Amino acid sequence: MVGLSLGEKNFIQGGIAQDLRSDGRKRLTYRPVSVETGVIPQANGSARVRMGATDVISSVKAELGKPSSLQPDKGKVSIYVDCSPTAAPMFEGRGGDELSTDLSVALQCCLLGGKSGAGAGIDLSSLIVVEGKMCWGLYIDCLVVSSDGNLLDALGAAIKAALSNTGIPRVLVAAGASGDEQPEVDISDEEFLQFDTSDVPVIVTLTKVGRHYIVDATSEEESQMSSAVSISVNRKGHICGLTKRGGAGLDPSIVLDMISVAKHVSEQLMNKLDSEIAAAEAVEDDS
């Protein structure tokens, strides 16, 4: 909980109204974003993303499994978020569970598309090894190490970076297996499958404070919000998912307005992120 005095509250609200926020940013400016990839060598892919004092780590682990009988031609992806107590004492014990679940659900609907997997940012059919029998399951685990607002955008960015860092070993299926048995597989040490992450959307959260909305709110600013809308937009400018949090109602026209702003902002964020990811990968390859 952020405890603020009345003066501080007015200062924040006033700043937003004048398009000059407490840290000197404009309403639609992000804090500096830094990306580090390969931070968890044990994972198939990982990334750490920092936006100001917000710090999250995302890792991707691939496991071989059986595809579900409803979608025999698709792999499985699941996202879990964990809020470490290091980020805030209130996450101690089970204190972070609620927020964690909230974030997991929001990320799933922003990145993974519908129940059938249609419209997902990740091509689920590329995860299939033997149709109906074997597929890769991707477990995306995120950890909030430090929180200073705008967790969802940071997590979304971290997942995107982690996925582009992910290499999955090539699987060679031994011939001859038939019937119901699980096929024998051999895993190649040398070749890795890289994902095409260009379709993975970014998430832009617009937080409404007073009569204006801002991007990348800090936790102080978040404490003054009436509602927030998170919109995930892919490179083509399509809206991939949307969630609204906060109790206050929004006029539909404002929502539409927000979407078009988000679309515009997302382009900048996407470019920024891509260049950061590319730089991070280059650093990792170098070391």
Partner 1 sequence: MEYVNPEGLRLDGRRPMEMRQIRAEIGSVAKADGSALFEMGNTKVIAAVYGPREVQNRSQQISDKALVRCEYSMANFSTGDRMRKPKGDRRSTEISLVIRQTMEACIMTHLMPRSQIDIFVQVLQADGGTRSACINAATLALADAGIPLRDLVTSCSAGYLNSTPLLDLNYVEDSAGGPDVTVGFLPKLDKVTLLQMDSKLSIDLFENVMQLAIEGCKAVANYIREILLENTKQLEYRRGL
Partner 2 sequence: MLHSKTFVKKTRGGKVNKQVREHYLRDDIYCGAPICKVCDSSAARLSPSASTILIVDTNVVLHQIDLLENPAIDDVVMLSIVLEEVKNKNMAVYNRVRALCSNSMRRFFVFANEHHKDTFVKEMNKESKNDRNDRAIRVAAQWYQNHLGGAARVLLITNDRENKRKAIEEGISAETIESYVKSLDQPNLLDLLVQPASEDVNMEEVEDLRPSKRKVIYAEHKPMSEITSGLHRGIYHQGKLRVNRYNPFEAYVGSESIGDEIIIYGRANMNRAFDGDIVAVELLPQDQWYEEKSLSIADEEDGEEDVHLVPNSADDAPRTTNVVQGSAGDAKIMSSRPSGFVVGIIKRNWHAYCGSLEPMPLPAGSGGTAHALFVSKDRRIPKIRIQTRQLENLLDKRIIVVVDSWDHLSRYPSGHYVRTIGEIGDRDTESEVVLIENDINSRPFSSQVLACLPSLPWSVSSEDLANPIRQDLRHLRVFSVDPPGCKDIDDALHCITLPNGNFEVGVHIADVTNFVLPGTPLDDEATQRGTSVYLVERRIDMLPKPLTEDICSLRADVERLAFSVIWEMTSEAEIISKRYTKSVIKSSAAMSYIEAQARMDDSRLMDPLTTDLRNMNTLAKIMRLKRIERGALTLASAEVKFQIDTETHDPLDIGMYQIREANQMVEEFMLAANVSVAEKILKHFPVISLLRRHPSPTREMLEPLLRTAAAVGLNLDVSSSKALADSLDHAVGDDPYFNKLIRILATRCMTQAVYFCSGDLSPQEYHHYGLAAPLYTHFTSPIRRYADVIVHRLLAASLEIQKLPSIFQDQPQLTSIADNLNYRHRNAQMASRASVELHTLIYFRKRPTDTEARIVKIRANGFIVFVPKYGIEGPVHLAPRSEKGSGEWFVDEQQQKIKKMDGSLSFSVLQTIRIHMEVVEPQPNRPKLQLTLI
Q: By CB under 8 A, name the binding residues for partner 1.
A: 39-43, 46, 52-53, 55, 57, 59, 61, 63, 80, 82, 84-89, 92-94, 139, 141, 143, 145-148, 219
CB closer to partner 2, 20 vs 187: 187
The option from partner 2, partner 1, none interacting with 229 (CB < 5 to 8 A, set by class) reads: none
Identify the burial level of 179 via C-beta atoms within 10 angstroms of its C-beta, where 0-12 means exposed, 13-18 middle and 19 or more buried. exposed
> Strand 212-215 to strand 227-233: parallel, antiparallel, or no bridges (unpaired)?
unpaired
CB closer to partner 2, 105 vs 187: 187
Contact 125, 73 (CB under 8 A): yes
Q: How far, rounded to the nearest angstrom, does the alpha carbon of residue 262 sit from its chain's CA centroid?
A: 16
CB closer to partner 2, 44 vs 58: 44
Residues that bind partner 2 (CB under 8 A): 41-44, 61-64, 169, 174, 176-177, 181, 184, 186-192
Separation between Cα atoms, residue 256 and residue 261, nearest integer Å = 9
Backbone angles phi, psi at 55, to 5 degrees: -140, 115
Backbone angles phi, psi at 104, to 5 degrees: -60, -45
CB closer to partner 1, 43 vs 240: 43
The minimum distance between CB 280 and partner 2, in angstroms, equals 17
The minimum distance between CB 47 and partner 1, in angstroms, equals 12
Q: Which residues of the chain form beta strands (DSSP E)?
A: 33-37, 45-51, 54-65, 76-83, 128-130, 134-146, 167-173, 185-194, 202-209, 212-215, 227-233, 239-245
CB closer to partner 2, 4 vs 64: 64
The option from partner 1, partner 2, none interacting with 174 (CB < 5 to 8 A, set by class) reads: partner 2
The option from partner 1, partner 2, none interacting with 187 (CB < 5 to 8 A, set by class) reads: partner 2
